[in-house]
Amino acid sequence: MNASSVITPATYSTIMRWEKPAEPAPPRTLLAIGIAGAAGAVALPETTSGIGYLVVAIVCAGAAWRVMGRLKPWTIVWGTLSLALVAVTVFRDADWLFAMCLLGAVAAASLAVAGGRSIWGVLLGSVSVALGSVLALPWVARGLGALRRKTTRKALRLTNSVLISAVLLLVFVPLLAGADAAFAKILANVVPSIDADFVARSVLMFVLVAVGTAGASLVITAPPELPDNDRPPSRLSVTEWAMPVGILVMLFAGFAAVQFTVLFGGIKYVLDTEEVSFATYARSGFWQLLAVTVLTLGVVAAVIRWAPRRTAKDRAWLRGLLGTLSVLVLVIVASALSRMWTYQQAYGFTVLRLSVEAFELWLGLVYVMVIVAGVRLEARWLPRAIVGSALTGLLAFAMLNPEKLIAEHNVQRLDATGKIDVEYLSRLSADAAPALAKLPLQHRACALAGANIRMYDRSWQSWNVSRATARPIVAANRELCY
């Protein structure tokens, strides 16, 4: 296998080619990698989300900028989106939201340096830094070897100066800390206690961040050749694709007619005619409708890829059938959202219910974009728009503060029905603490138990607006939970 060919599927001779850079990593790139790695070793929190992640992200962005030089418009767009997603860790405490935003930030950062316009280009661009992190190791090793051979007497003197400074700090800092309790307290908050676990963790964080920055630097220095066109020559006739899609349209039209009866005739009509319970109707069909929405998106993508559009007749069939199918899917999306919203109003909000509802809403937006692309018969903008809308939607979802919203609706449900799941609410993070503080006393302490568990980490790296807000609330509600 050619070393420059990273991925070679059957449909393309080479989807992504990556030529090794002829020159080793230059000193300025090695310096940027080292600074980013040091920031990771010092600033990344030990256990939870916190401001340290944003500090490291800013340092890594600066390192990439140092290597890149001139910024392109899409680099600024993806880079800004990446930093915004990392900034969520400063404001939100929920682990699941933190993980989603961090993954989204990594994908956006990879697109910022790799680019990508087509479907394959965007998908491969979002993982190019991860691939580059492995491929960059020999490149960085060659750069370190070249740097060592060029080391001058001036560099040796600088190294000696750094070592002497470190020795002086090791001698005098403990003495001054022992002389003044206030100074010692400040040092304790700023400087972590150094033990074997701390050293091992710091080395690991240095390596991870440095390797990631090296991957980004390789992508910038020797960018991979991403595919710019997803459409191979047309292989289907109109009859071959129009008949199955037409059958699907008729099936969806029949289902949509029933859904209009439900949406405009009311839930009572369905309950009276089908003799099903409220909970069964509202809950049972949502997951099937979600699956239909996702699978149909695959059908649409396949038709766009292989359907011919050489003649006006070809284009008319494509616009008509795909446009109708997409509109009918929007009715299915509306039905799914209506069912889940109705179910949540009756039985309470949860993270899973709210998350899949947000995902279904985003799928509806994707179908709207597909309709626009079909009207124009121009879809080159669509892959970046879909990924950008997903990441922007994730950012908006985080800004909404989902766990606080969930807690607020469950508190309102308690006022309206007298029912509440305290055990579930106790598993929410500090994000929900302001809403949970409004619960009656007999429920409040137990509901805040989850947030109480997360209050122990007070290092500057893990500082977080949500936990800082929740700390006095939790402290004021330390009643026993039975």
- Give the bridge partners for 5, in sequence order: 17
Would you state the pLDDT for residue 5? 37
Residue 278 pLDDT exceeds 60: no
For the chain, percent helix, then strand, then coil, each to nearest 5?
A: 75, 0, 25
* pLDDT one-digit tens code per residue, 311-367: 888 888 888 888 899 999 998 888 888 888 877 877 788 898 899 999 999 999 999
Instruction: Output DSSP code: residue 194.
Output: P
Strand intervals (E) in 72-117: none
To which residue do tokens 């916190």 refer? Answer: 50
C-alpha to C-alpha distance for 8 and 16, rounded to whole angstroms: 7
Q: Coil, strand or helix: which one is 233?
A: coil
Rounded to whole angstroms, what are the CA distances from 150 to 178, 259, 380?
A: 44, 74, 48
Residue 373's CB: how many other CB atoms inside 10 A?
19
Q: Percent of the chain, pLDDT > 70?
A: 82
Q: Coil, strand or helix: which one is 466?
A: helix
- Give the bridge partners for 225, in sequence order: 17
Residue 7 pLDDT exceeds 50: no
* pLDDT one-digit tens code per residue, 377-413: 777 888 899 999 999 999 999 999 999 999 999 998 8
145 Cβ partners below 8 Å, 6+ apart? Answer: 24
Q: How far is CA 362 from the centre of its chain?
A: 14
C-alpha to C-alpha distance for 406 and 347, rounded to whole angstroms: 12
